[in-house]
């Protein structure tokens, strides 16, 4: 495994001050400069695709098609969108004409916030580090990046490549563990923080940011699937497994559990069994088609959840700690108070939770913290509307999983306990932008 060189803790404050000096110089304000840096970020990815694949293979055992889908192409799409739209996004906005204040000529200026801190998780070391960096740069900010120490090959590669391709006084990488992250988030004059990860750490970051009134953008929590018995279960099952097993289930927006009417559970489970074996005819442990769990601690966590479940394992259940492998596992008859429902699974375990009817399904979802995403499988508009109108979540996807994050024209983020703010596209540009209202009354 790659040895990750940590940033000395005593240097982190200096890095912040140097980034602040860059911002104060006004260098990041011109649109030409922002576009040039976005272009350089594009070159960083395009020139180093094979090295990115090798790092992700080392860190997570991830297959090439998954790397290309989101880590590479997802980043490139985000860069292209910002590059093409940065002039429009940054342009001052005139307020609609009104006889009440037309002489004031109110205009909203789109101004950068300053030094932003992006703390990214281990599961998507490039996508979840670089896609938030794109709107931060597009908005005219400077950035401190803190990649996860759990993916050392990817974090080391980012630390090597970013100063080679981007202005080294615009973006700085801070590598390390808890002490380095603690120091970075505690710094005064960090003007915005974006964190993707778990709920426990999110609360710590928010508490630290509150001391300096620093705004925080968060993305965390579980995502349930709600099944309409009238849906095409064969297609739904394939799409659920596809979304569930990307990155071995280590995706914040992957389907976390399936809610199904109790009299439809047998048919749902049978469809999920059939779909899984069609998608993975060979053993995923040896086929190279599924990644690995990031480390032994997460292996032990998943094994503990499986050991405690009172549900029935339909297939799977194998845990190989040395190979960092947990087999895709389908569990039926899972109750709402089961161990598998106690936290975000973040692994290839798929519980099926039977309920009496749709009202009970909605009540179950609402009994938990707000979801990051709710997946609905139905062709009935009334069914979809009932779920959407009576639940809360960051986003909703109907008859599909995962792909909504690629729609960079649409906002992506959580609500309540699943986070707040947005991390991609124009909405993320706005997160990193101060909307500064100006008025100009004639001097007569």
Task: Tell me the catalytic residues.
Answer: 219, 252
Whether the Cβ atoms of residue 293 and residue 323 lie closer than 8 Å to each other:
no
Query: Could you tell me the two tokens for 84?
Result: 């093409």
Buried b (16+ CB within 10 A) or exposed e, 390-427: ebbbbbbbbbebbebbeebeebbbbbebbbbbbbbbbb
Q: In which order are the strands placed within the sheet that holds 371-377? A: 312-315, 329-332, 349-355, 257-261, 224-227, 371-377, 393-398
Q: What is the Cα–Cα distance from 330 to 278, expressed in whole angstroms?
A: 15
Angle (deg, nearest 10), helices 152-165 and 49-60: 160
Rounded CA gap, 136 and 132, in Å?
6
Q: What is the DSSP string of 6-32?
A: PPPHHHHHHHHHHHHHHHHTTTT-SHH
In 3D, which of 308, 316, 313 has the Cα closest to residue 352? 313
Output the six-digit token pair for 30: 């011109």
- Whether the CB-CB separation of 401 and 243 falls below 8 Å is answered with yes
Residue given tokens 């109108």 in the structure block: 389
CB 16 within 8 A of CB 171: no
């Amino acid at each position: 495994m790659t040895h990750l060189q940590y940033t000395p803790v005593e240097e982190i404050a200096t890095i912040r001050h140097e980034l602040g000096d860059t911002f104060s110089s006004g260098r990041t304000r011109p649109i030409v400069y922002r576009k040039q840096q976005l272009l350089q970020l594009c070159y960083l990815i395009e020139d180093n695709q094979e090295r990115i694949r090798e790092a992700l293979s080392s860190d997570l055992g991830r297959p090439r098609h998954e790397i290309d889908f989101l880590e590479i192409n997802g980043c490139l799409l985000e860069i292209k969108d910002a590059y093409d739209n940065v002039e429009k996004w940054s342009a001052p906005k005139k307020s609609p004409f009104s006889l009440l204040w037309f002489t004031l000529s109110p205009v909203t200026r789109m101004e950068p916030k300053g030094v932003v801190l992006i703390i990214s998780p281990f599961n998507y070391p490039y996508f979840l580090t670089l896609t938030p960096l794109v709107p931060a740069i597009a908005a005219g900010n400077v950035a401190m990046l803190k990649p996860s120490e759990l993916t050392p090959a990817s974090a080391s590669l980012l630390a090597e490549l970013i100063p080679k391709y981007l202005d080294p006084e615009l973006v700085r990488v801070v590598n390390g563990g808890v002490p380095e992250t603690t120091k970075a988030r505690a710094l005064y004059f960090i003007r915005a923080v974006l964190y993707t990860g778990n709920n426990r750490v999110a609360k710590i970051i928010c508490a630290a940011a509150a001391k300096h009134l620093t705004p925080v953008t968060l993305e965390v929590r579980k995502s349930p699937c709600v099944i309409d018995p009238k849906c095409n279960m064969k297609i739904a099952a394939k799409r659920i497994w596809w979304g569930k097993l990307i990155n071995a289930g280590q995706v914040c927006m992957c389907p976390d559990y399936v809610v199904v009417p109790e009299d439809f559970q047998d048919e749902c489970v049978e469809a999920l069994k059939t779909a899984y074996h069609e998608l993975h005819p060979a053993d995923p442990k040896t086929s190279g088609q599924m990644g690995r769990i990031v480390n032994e601690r997460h292996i032990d966590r998943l094994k503990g959840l499986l050991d405690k479940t009172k549900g029935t394992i339909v297939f799977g259940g194998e845990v190989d700690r040395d190979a960092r492998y947990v087999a895709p596992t389908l569990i039926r008859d899972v109750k709402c108070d089961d161990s598998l429902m106690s936290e975000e699974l973040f692994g290839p375990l798929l519980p099926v939770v039977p309920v009496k009817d749709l009202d009970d399904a909605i009540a179950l979802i609402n009994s938990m913290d707000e979801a990051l995403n709710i997946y609905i499988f139905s062709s009935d508009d009334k069914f979809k509307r009932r779920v959407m109108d009576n639940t809360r979540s960051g986003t909703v996807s109907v008859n599909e999983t995962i792909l909504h994050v690629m729609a960079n024209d649409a906002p992506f983020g959580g609500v309540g306990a699943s986070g707040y703010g947005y991390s991609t596209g124009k909405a993320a540009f706005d997160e990193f932008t101060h909307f500064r209202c100006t008025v100009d009354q004639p001097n007569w």
